[in-house]
A and B are shown apart, each in its own frame.
Chain A
Amino acid sequence: MELTINGQQYTVADEPARPLLYVLRDELGLTGTKFGCGAGICGACTVHVNGVATRSCQTMLAAVAGAQITTIEGLADGERLHPVQQAFLELQTPQCGWCMSGQMMTAAALLAENPNPTREEMIAAMRYNYCRCGAYARIARAVMRAAELMKEGAA
């Protein structure tokens, strides 16, 4: 079956009940999307499906046929980092980094829908992404900083 990932067409084995995460990581080599719990709890595997932050470990291939899928590898515009990535870098946010693709994909989806979130709205969107290194203080600041960067970029 055909998948559209980061604007590119891929043909993968026709197994509609396979979770997207394993296809991305093991079949297509897009290992930026991480395995954390396999149960949709930790958020490490978050990707965008038609712009919506989605747990790829809980998303079967059948559900994404024909959809636009974006992974962390497709978040930047070539060399130019997405404002969320810029902000996470600027504030030196990641520690081990394992959860960070999911954090940034969740943040990018939030800001696409709500470019001007309040702190409460930001927390409500980010609260289902675990970070075991405990980088939460910087994650919170970085998401709000990304919103500023987006405004500056748009101005």
Chain B
Amino acid sequence: MKRDDRPQRWRMTRRGFLIGLGLVGGGLALGAALGLPAARLALADLLGDGTGPPASFPKEPAIWFAIQPDGRVVMAMPKVEMGQGVHTALAQLAAEELGVAWEQISVTQSSSIGPVRDPAGTSASYSVMGLFPVIRETAATLREMLRAAGAEQLGIAQAAIEQGFVIDPANPARRIGFGELAAQPRVWQAPAEAAPLTPPDRWRIIGQPAPRLDLPAKVRGAAIYGYDARAEGMLYGAVARPPHLGAKLRRAAPGTALSRPGVVQVVIRDGFAGVVAESRLTAYAALNDLELEWELPPPFTHQDLAERLAAQAGSGTPIQQRGDAGAALRGTQVIEATYRTPLAAHANLEPQAALVDVQPDRVRAWVSTQSPVQVAESIAATLGRPADTVEVTPTYLGGGFGRKLLITAANEAAILSAAAGKPVHVGWTRTEEFRYSYLRPPTYAAFRATLDGQGNIIALEQRHASGNVLFDFIPAPLRWLLGSDFGAWRGARLVYNIPNLLVTSQTVELPVPTGPWRGLGLLANVFAVESFIDELAHAAGSDPLEFRLRHLPDSDLGQRFRATLLAVAEMAGWRTPAPVGRARGIACSVDMNTVAAHVAEVGYEDDKLRVYRVWAAVDPGLAINPDGLAAQTEGGIMMGLSATLFEQVTISEGRIDAGNFDRYPLLTIADAPEVAVQILRSGDQPFGGGEPPMGPIAAAVANALFALTGERKRQLPLG
């Protein structure tokens, strides 16, 4: 055994993207000017329905695009493909502005060092929204450079561009391909003025259902994911896990591991014990040979966590405030309800995985990750090396869902590779994935409201509490300034016109790691808000659709909600009765400025709740690839339904009960409803796509269930 005596540095670095938003300085100034509570409300308004990291990307076309001699354009892709179709959507933007045929463009994945470095990572449904101006401007610049070069060569003043050719408009047979132009020696000059962008009425590719670029490889089983990464001479690693959440490794010794055939090395550092072996199965078997002593923290259960949320919910930070809800609720007939959602797992079918090759002067890694730059920084910190000597190349991801922002497996593979002097692959087992990942936090939301004589909401108060979602990613001063975790309260603010409104959110420290899950707080919070709105509609004796419509504000967002709700009502035949034995529920939400409305139709089959059909209308502003967005909507609804009906992580004695899918079953094709999706267009600017379309599903199902049974379910899972 090689003993590693360097100081322990293998813990995650959790650098925050919010630093880049400039919120710390600006927010503190705001706090000084307005006082802390008002500053927090102003920040909550700013963060509102979601915001993304800054798009600080290079604008030099040569960094983004390589034109091949045959005229094909290879685009360096800053974002990672985890099934959301982002490579295709971003390539559509580029192909549009470059003026090439769709078939001419292909993509190559950028690594943590480039060509297009992306410190923000792929998250928050922000990729298309954030890169929409950047890619179009950069591609338009390149197009104008090609146009100028082509015009010069053709000896004309004004050249046209068509399908990858520069053309003489007076004689279209005179043309030069991009490939030929790019191959000539030339001093390329960026245009003096900003290149004009193609107007929406001339779009050929934006707004069309372009076929996904990643699917030909995926249907052949040829796409390479982090779990599939291979290198010459590579070995496999496995790491000892604590028996309970929060347990610390007090003492470790190799035991008999080194005498097991195939074991190459045992690596023990402070708080870490791992094995390197010739095969994965051998590495995992050898973990049982180690001598390990753990220091166990006090045990707890998932019920303890739920009680902690309930106990602290009263003291939250205001995140939405209008009028005086407290006064308006006093002395009136108050309608009250409390909603809860449990801990949940991401359950990506590809567990986290990384291949890391630590060489004397540099480190190369291939990782299934949403954040290659942060993973590279984390590996560098783990090994005590300069960050610029580490290159992380993201592979395809077998599901992201927020789980693959931090990749512990990469740090583990780095430690083991450094010790073994060979590339080492660490791929977690399903049990590790269930027991040692961060989870979606539990939530609690207590509502009080009162109606006037016409059945309109006069006052509403929501006391919301949740475990961390983004707080582990952001620095302490900013946590203090914000007061509560804005990732946790995503979807908890109400769009409705309510004269006296107060929403508070309390972020509660829990002894279990929690973090972002697809949509952050969206699914849980919309479940609570839109279920309670449904309760008020019934209390007012109103149709749930009409009740929502009449409470919408007369704003642009209100109009978009109205159009989306009416579209889904039309699709579902809301005004016609459901088939016998079934009932329908409706709900809506906004996230990353995308509005979604769902109708679910439910019934009972063999005493089991069954969701037969879901209709979804989604207004993303502009869908770059409507079929891609439809797929995201269908998928988000299924994942959301799985969480709605079945999923909860339970903890006994400080240990997560589920070690595999037998204790944490997912939705199957046999449970899947028919889904109809309509994508609306309300402008020329795309908003979020991966997460927002799933927002209303839990509430739509719960509301349908109430319509069916007259009994209100206020806790997930419902099934």
Contact = CB atoms under 8 A, between A and B. Distances in A.
B388 to A, nearest CB: 31
A41 B349 contact: no
Contacts of A25: 228
Contact of A137 (B348, B350, B634): B634
B642 interface: yes
Q: Which 4 A-B pairs have the closest CB atoms?
A: A32-B221, A134-B638, A98-B398, A95-B83
Contact of A31 (B230, B351, B627, B668): B230
Contacts of B348: 96, 98, 132
Contacts of B280: 22, 26
Given A34-B349, A35-B227, A123-B669, A133 B220 contact: no
B347 to A, nearest CB: 6
Given A22-B280, A34-B398, A132-B399, A39 B430 contact: yes
Nearest to A128: B668
Contacts of A101: 221
A94 B230 contact: no
Given A35-B227, A72-B220, A134 B667 contact: yes
Contacts of A65: none
B532 interface: no
Contacts of A34: 225, 227, 349-350, 398
A62 to B, nearest CB: 15
A73 B672 contact: no
Contacts, number: 167
A126 interface: yes
B670 A134 contact: no
Contact of A96 (B351, B398, B427, B641): B398
A54 interface: no
Interface of A: 18-19, 22, 25-26, 29, 31-39, 41-42, 44, 71-73, 75-76, 81, 85, 88-89, 92-101, 104, 123-124, 126-140
Given A126-B669, A132-B639, A135-B635, 9 more contacts: A31-B230, A37-B660, A72-B221, A76-B220, A85-B220, A95-B84, A99-B349, A100-B219, A131-B349
A104 B221 CA distance: 10
A7 B450 CA distance: 72
Contact of A26 (B279, B631, B639, B669): B279
Contact of A100 (B218, B397, B641): B218
Contacts of B667: 134, 136
Contacts of B215: 88-89, 92-94, 97
B396 A36 contact: no
A22 to B, nearest CB: 6
B221 A92 contact: no
B5 to A, nearest CB: 32
Interface in B631-666: 631, 634-639, 641-642, 660-662, 666
Q: Is the interface of B mostly helix, strand, loop or mixed?
A: loop
Q: On chain B, which size bracket covers the interface?
A: 35 or more
Interface string B379-404: 00000000000000000111111000
B349 A98 contact: yes
Interface in B210-240: 211-212, 214-216, 218-225, 227-228, 230, 236
A101 B220 CA distance: 8
Contacts of B253: none
Contacts of A139: 669
Contacts of B398: 34, 96-98
6 contacts: A19-B281, A31-B221, A32-B222, A38-B429, A98-B348, A137-B672
A39 B660 contact: yes
Nearest to B224: A31
A126 B671 CA distance: 11
Of B236, B637, B660, most buried by chain A (CB within 10 Å of CB) is B660
Contacts of A130: 349, 661, 666, 668
A33 to B, nearest CB: 7
B666 A132 contact: yes
Given A89-B216, A137-B634, A139-B669, A29 B230 contact: yes
Contacts of A136: 638, 667-669, 672
A111 B386 CA distance: 55
B554 interface: no
Contacts of A38: 429-430, 660
Contacts of A32: 220-222
Given A92-B211, A96-B397, A36 B666 contact: no
Nearest to A72: B221
Contacts of A39: 430, 660-662
B82 interface: yes
Contact of B349 (A31, A44, A72, A76): A44
B675 interface: yes
A41 B661 contact: yes
A11 to B, nearest CB: 17
Given A96-B399, A133-B399, A135-B635, A22 B672 contact: no
Of B218, B279, B639, B674, most buried by chain A (CB within 10 Å of CB) is B218
Contacts of A131: 349, 638, 669
A129 B669 contact: yes
Given A22-B279, A39-B662, A134 B639 contact: yes
Contacts of A72: 220-221
A97 B430 contact: no
A35 B429 CA distance: 9
Contacts of B279: 22, 26
B634 A135 contact: yes
Nearest to B668: A127
Contact of A140 (B221, B641, B669): B669
A3 to B, nearest CB: 17
Of A44, A95, A131, A135, most buried by chain B (CB within 10 Å of CB) is A95
A37 B672 CA distance: 21
A106 to B, nearest CB: 10
B670 A123 contact: yes
Contacts of B214: 97
Contacts of B224: 31
A36 B83 contact: no
B212 A92 contact: yes
A115 to B, nearest CB: 20
B236 A26 contact: yes
